[in-house]
Structure 1
């Protein structure tokens, strides 16, 4: 059996590793280049589509710029479709050593935020992380590409897959899927053809539906992005910008709040002559409505009235925490709305079945396109769990 994996992020890297280590011939085709993890920020693509969205196009994908957050999202949502991810979550937590970081990795800003939130009456939890504390020297650069390679990225799995014989092809955009008599036969990159018995799309919630559209499938609807803003202000010399970000979390029904620094805040605080080391912030991330759409030529994702209400509620709570922490209320600002976790554009029960197969035999989708709704929280562990489950299905098919 010959398997082609399109994309090399959390889904692509995982499924390639699982299949190759079990003796299946795997080829990973990646649109972007292979880079050093610490240079991932150079591969960001930022688009304003109503909400600002961003991703990195390179080998390893957006895993290179995650904050290392290990949450088990949407488990109940997938159970409604007959998918129990608990066995895969247990595997992942062991393999990635998902755990809370030691107190030495909590900076003064994060500690102050946690104490202030608890004093107001909110329940604060430490964020589970897939970061090696023995390698991590907190520097605030997780979202740019870890200089110490201290956090898990899919590069770990890709390198392992390569040792098991997987072929890695970079700088090669897939432009079409080859289908004949209801069965997938491979993919094309412009005029170059790559034949395969099975194709697994893991190119993300924008490129995956566009490829499905080319073979006549009604993909690209119901885009969500886990819309977020960062609310922040000035707390002199707190040096929050050098801390490990999102090291704590406050959970609400429709959003989460966590410590978060962004240089956008520094720019927004220009009138106060803000320095990076004086700025502290809280991210408010909502479960946004799947109101977006991906077409062959366009991406549209506007905030709905409900989305704005959630952001306003979360921002008010974040502001109260920051004021309790000592931030001058006159300096508090909010960034514009941004999107972090794109998904929903080829959702389960719509375009894929419980085995993540499309109506085309041998054509599967493994990325966040298949999520039935927005997680409103970091989805990396769930994507890996789904990819592990998909790999098990493919291996059963090969017997």
Structure 2
């Protein structure tokens, strides 16, 4: 049996690894190229940034093509990975157990979470290597009753050089990403095809027969017995709609808004981002320097990266974004979400002020990089881990399956969904 897996992020790589281990023929199609981390120093951008010549968020894609940005509305920028490893190569390596909305539909991923944590080697980053200001902010959050906790991470502290640029790729491979699962799959006999964007799914007599890929200026078919779409909340929905199949206009993004303050010599980049977090209803708070805001948000331009202090709000937003067949995305920030963000920002400011951080306090760019909800599971789907309206042989293996926004890191959730889906494929699909 041949399985075609579209996408090489947390979901796709996990599924490829699992299926190939069990002897299935696996072809992995990745629309981008082989990922390479950003290795330039940020200092060269400072003169351009200060005089406003860095342009907008599209500039980063020109400099670093693996990070793709999409403006889904006037206020909101969506970010996703484009290359081997998907968005895992551009992450902070956070491995929190996020399962908002899943147990309500009867889906328990605790065993998958535990298996992946053990396999990846999830640990907290040593507190003695946190920056002094980060420790002060943690203590401030404790005194406020916000119950902060160290973030479980897929980072080898012995290899980590504390460059703070996890989201631009880890140059010394101290942070796990899904390319390690890809390597396992390839060793098991899987075939990886890069720069192979999938246009649509092919159907024959009501069952999947393969995919159509873009090949130069033309198209060609790759045939298989089953297809797993793991192209993320946007990519998976685009492929489905281009195939005449349904995807729901329920895109969620986990909206991020970082409050910026100032503390001379803070040097927050001298540690991994988000070494601790405080979980509140609908959002988390975490220390974080937002590189997008630093480069492209004008209110942030007068403070150097060494003096910039950031406190992130990651919000579980309303699930009401739309993905279109032509590649466009429409997702706005609702008034309800803005009100929740204002409450969260006020707490972030209090944490920072109590830690000696000064103003001017400025909000960063609204952005979102957890893209899900476009093919959400319902209670009746959980038994087979696939929406029952999909044609036979077509599976979804990414965050699209999660019906609710998390307001939390989602790599572990995506991989756990992938693992659950892979095992259902092995159980259900004909041998």
Q: CA–CA distance in 2 between the matches of 1:384 and 1:323?
A: 37
Runs of 4+ with deviation above 3 angstroms: 37-42, 263-273, 350-354
Q: CA–CA distance in 2 between the matches of 1:271 and 1:247?
A: 23
Greater displacement, 76-85 / 231-240: 76-85
Compute the TM-score of the two structures, normalised by the length of structure 1: 0.95
Kindly report which structure 2 residues correspond to 1:80-229, keeping only aligned pairs within 5 A, or say none: 80-190=104-214, 191-229=219-257
Q: Indicate the residue corresponding to 2:102 in structure 1.
A: 78
Offset at residue 27 of structure 1 (A) = 0.4
Q: CA–CA distance in 2 between the matches of 1:99 and 1:319?
A: 28
Q: Indicate the residue corresponding to 1:59 in structure 2.
A: 84
Equivalent position SS for 1:55: strand
Q: Indicate the residue corresponding to 2:23 in structure 1.
A: 23
CA contact (8 A) 1:206 1:294 kept: yes
Offset at residue 233 of structure 1 (A) = 0.9
The question of 1:282 aligning with 2:306 is answered no
Offset at residue 235 of structure 1 (A) = 0.3
Alpha-carbon distance change, 165 to 250 in structure 1, aligned in 2, over 3 angstroms: same
Greater displacement, 132-141 / 355-364: 355-364
The question of 1:46 aligning with 2:46 is answered no
Offset at residue 357 of structure 1 (A) = 2.8
Offset at residue 356 of structure 1 (A) = 3.1
CA contact (8 A) 1:265 1:333 kept: no
Q: Indicate the residue corresponding to 2:338 in structure 1.
A: 308
Offset at residue 353 of structure 1 (A) = 5.3
CA contact (8 A) 2:6 2:227 kept: yes
Alpha-carbon distance change, 213 to 3 in structure 1, aligned in 2, over 3 angstroms: same
Say what the alpha-carbon RMSD is for the aligned residues.
1.9
CA contact (8 A) 1:287 1:375 kept: yes
Deviations along 1:120-147, whole A, 9 cap, x unmatched? 3321100011111111111111011012
Equivalent position SS for 1:382: helix
CA contact (8 A) 2:316 2:405 kept: yes
How many residue pairs were aligned?
Answer: 397
Equivalent position SS for 2:153: coil
Offset at residue 266 of structure 1 (A) = 4.0
Offset at residue 228 of structure 1 (A) = 1.2
CA contact (8 A) 2:260 2:300 kept: no
Compute the TM-score of the two structures, normalised by the length of structure 2: 0.88
Equivalent position SS for 1:277: coil
- Given the alignment, which residue of 299, 318, 330 partners 2:348? 318
Q: CA–CA distance in 2 between the matches of 1:183 and 1:271?
A: 52
Q: Indicate the residue corresponding to 1:68 in structure 2.
A: 93
Offset at residue 351 of structure 1 (A) = 11
Offset at residue 81 of structure 1 (A) = 2.8
Q: CA–CA distance in 1 between the matches of 2:393 and 2:283?
A: 37
- Given the alignment, which residue of 308, 324, 337 partners 1:295? 324
The question of 1:389 aligning with 2:389 is answered no
Structure 2 gap ranges (5+): 40-60
Alpha-carbon distance change, 363 to 269 in structure 1, aligned in 2, over 3 angstroms: closer
